[in-house]
Amino acid sequence: MEGPKSDLYSSIDDSSEELLWLTSFKTNAYSDSETTIISNDFVCHTNFEYRDAEHYNRWDFTDRINQNYPRITSISNGVESFKLPKGYGFPVYSNERLVFNAQALNHNITDSTFKIKHKVEIEFIRHRDKQLKPLQPKTIYIMLPFDINNPFAGPSNDIPNACIPVETKLHTYFDENNNPLSGHWVVPQGKHNYSFDASKQLNIKDSIRIHQITPHLHPFAEKFSLINKTTKEIIYECKSENFTEKIGLKNAPTFESESGIWLYKDHNYELYLEVNNTTNKDQEMMASMAILFYDLEMHNKIKKHVDIN
């Protein structure tokens, strides 16, 4: 999370206003000349986001504005591509502005300077060619408590589960009782596990049906799970693979399902993370899931305002 980063605001086709379905994203690291693919060890993350005011005003969904962080998904170390299950997509207009946030990474090479670029590929289907079912994105993530008055002290008698935050600005949040929580924390040497009740982040009104999950993890994460605490069911378990000869995630499997998995309002859900810091120094950790679930309201809106025209 310390590498150089940049933001790009762009649309797929400014010359038209056509409904499209985004179905997949891919990121590769390239040399500055844009001619040579280099290792994706240099990809910290590429975030794919929409501008929620612009996006939802087009559909007269003004009540959705500022309700969730407007991220579709995030491709990161260990996750090079993202694909929605067959028959599903995220609806955008061709002239709608999207946001691409890319950050570089270098864990292993200390004696060289690099100039790199991230090449982003987006796959989409035109609505006039095929009508898909819309998905709505939401990001859930582990947050851990810390002492706001002495943030880097770690666990204490008052806060036995406290973490040491990496920093106290960009990734600090507050719960309903105004207690500080960090989404970016320090992992000591050895094996550790962390858990967080994600029920309030999910904020399920009735029920939702999840069709895609993409994890965002840092190196040394080994297992990341979304658990239904009410039924004891593991909804999704990402068993990530770390490189053994260098620092980095080799693979962090995503989840895709045409039939989907149901989550319910009256159930409790937990994020659970296992980490093994095999180095001789502290490391940094984040753990989030970008989930996409079926959006019935959007489906009905598209049928009413697009398909009849």
- Give residue limits of the domains in the chain: 5-134, 138-294
Give the model's pLDDT for residue 199: 97
The token pair at 40 is 């994706």
pLDDT in tens, the chain (309 residues): 667 888 989 999 999 999 999 999 998 888 887 888 888 888 888 999 999 999 999 999 999 999 999 999 999 989 988 899 999 999 999 999 999 998 888 888 888 887 888 888 999 999 999 999 999 999 999 999 999 999 999 898 889 889 999 999 889 999 999 999 999 999 999 999 999 999 999 999 999 999 999 999 999 999 999 999 999 999 999 999 999 999 999 999 999 999 999 999 999 999 999 999 999 999 999 999 999 999 999 999 999 877 654
In this prediction the pTM is 0.93
CATH architecture for the domain at 5-134:
Sandwich (2.60)
What confidence score (pLDDT) does residue 307 get? 65
What pLDDT, on the 0 to 100 scale, is given for residue 192? 97
User: HEC string of the chain?
Assistant: CCCCEEEEEECCCCCCCCEEEEEEEEEEEEECCCCCECCHHHEEEEEEEECHHHHHHCCCCHHHCCCCCCEEEEEECCCCEEECCCCEEEEEECCCCEEEEEEECCCCCCCCCCCEEEEEEEEEEECCCCCCEEEEEEEEECCEECCCCCCCCCCCCCCCCCCCECCCCCCEEECCCCCEEECCEEECCEEEEEEEECHHHHCCCCEEEEEEEEEEECCCEEEEEEEECCCCEEEEEEECEECCCCCCEEECCCEEEEEEEEEECCCCEEEEEEEEECCCCCEEECEEEEEEEECHHHHHHHHHHCCCC
At residue 61, the pLDDT reads 95
In this prediction, residue 116 carries a pLDDT of: 84
pLDDT at position 111: 82
User: How many other β-carbons are positioned within 10 Å of the β-carbon of residue 103?
Assistant: 17
Residue 244 main-chain phi, psi, to 5 deg: -100, -25
CATH fold match for the domains 5-134 and 138-294: yes
For domain 138-294, give the CATH number.
Answer: 2.60.120
What per-residue confidence (pLDDT) applies to 242?
Answer: 96
Tell me which long-range contacts 169-175 makes (C-beta under 8 A, separation of at least 24): 171/286, 173/143
Q: Are 229 and 270 in contact (CB under 8 A)?
A: yes
